Amino acid sequence: MADRLTYKATQEYLSTLVPEREPELKKMEAYAEEHGFPIIGPVCGYYCYQLAWMINAKSVFELGSGFGYSTAWFAKALKENGGGLVHHTVWDEKLSAMAREHLANLGLVNLVKFYNAEAVESLKGAAGPFDIIFNDINKEAYPASYLVIKEKLRSGGLLIIDNMLWSGRIFDKKNVTEATNGVREITRLVTRDPDWIVSLAPLRDFMIVAYKR
């Protein structure tokens, strides 16, 4: 039986447990698949929605938002929580425009503030504190984002970090690229800091979920 418990089988099974999604979300997933664009996918998206819903989040700051897929999941939760704001950050104006269109089609655009700027600098300038900070920027920049995140997240808030296995690169001791070491370092920083209660969620490329004491 143990030989059936593979990564692929587990992830495929988890995907069957996600409730039916809006056509617009499926359209976004199809685009990502066709163009090889990295998104968190429906399993992680639904998990982010659940986490935001559970803590009655009203304010979410996304460090790296792509064309709005993760933004949509957070905004769905905020809408059901009675309102709030998701801060969407991306350098690329085309991606920002795509996100606006998708979120408008989902009826969620009024819950989103858009930044065409560097994500961590945008977080520094934002008022805060935030209920959730979602970190999905370039991996070499992960460690430098850590203290800014910790300052801007409220006590009782959640830090969610994507790509914690970095497609398995973290297990290769010979892989010492800035990106791979960035993932290793932020993992060390969060898990060794007593101000956090941390779990590694085994979804897709694995996500850290850290509760700030």
Burial class (CB in 10 A: 0-12, 13-18, 19+), 211: middle
**pTM for the predicted model, two decimal places:** 0.96
1 band by pLDDT with thresholds 50, 70 and 90? low
Range of the domain at 76: 2-212
For the segment 172-212, what is each residue's pLDDT rounded down to a tens digit? Answer: 999 999 999 999 999 999 999 999 999 999 999 999 999 99
- 5 secondary structure, DSSP code: -
Q: What is the rounded CA–CA span in Å between residue 68 and residue 74?
A: 10
Quick one: pLDDT at residue 2? 60
Residues pairing with 211 in the sheet: 158, 197
Query: Is 153's pLDDT higher than 80?
Result: yes
Residue type, 168: G
Q: How crowded is the C-beta side of 136, counted as CA atoms within 13 Å?
A: 28
Residue 21 sits in a domain whose CATH number is 3.40.50.150
Q: What is the rounded CA–CA span in Å between residue 158 and residue 62?
A: 12
Residue-wise DSSP of 7-23: HHHHHHHHHHTSPP--H
The helix/strand count (H/E) of the chain reads as 8, 7
Q: Which residue has the higher pLDDT, 4 or 73?
A: 73
Residues pairing with 112 in the sheet: 86
Mean pLDDT, the chain, whole residue set: 97
For the segment 7-24, what is each residue's pLDDT rounded down to a tens digit? Answer: 999 999 999 999 999 999
Q: What is the rounded CA–CA span in Å between residue 3 and residue 10?
A: 12
**Residue 17 to residues 12, 21, 23, 53, 61, Cα–Cα distance (Å):** 9, 11, 17, 18, 27
How many domains does the chain divide into? 1
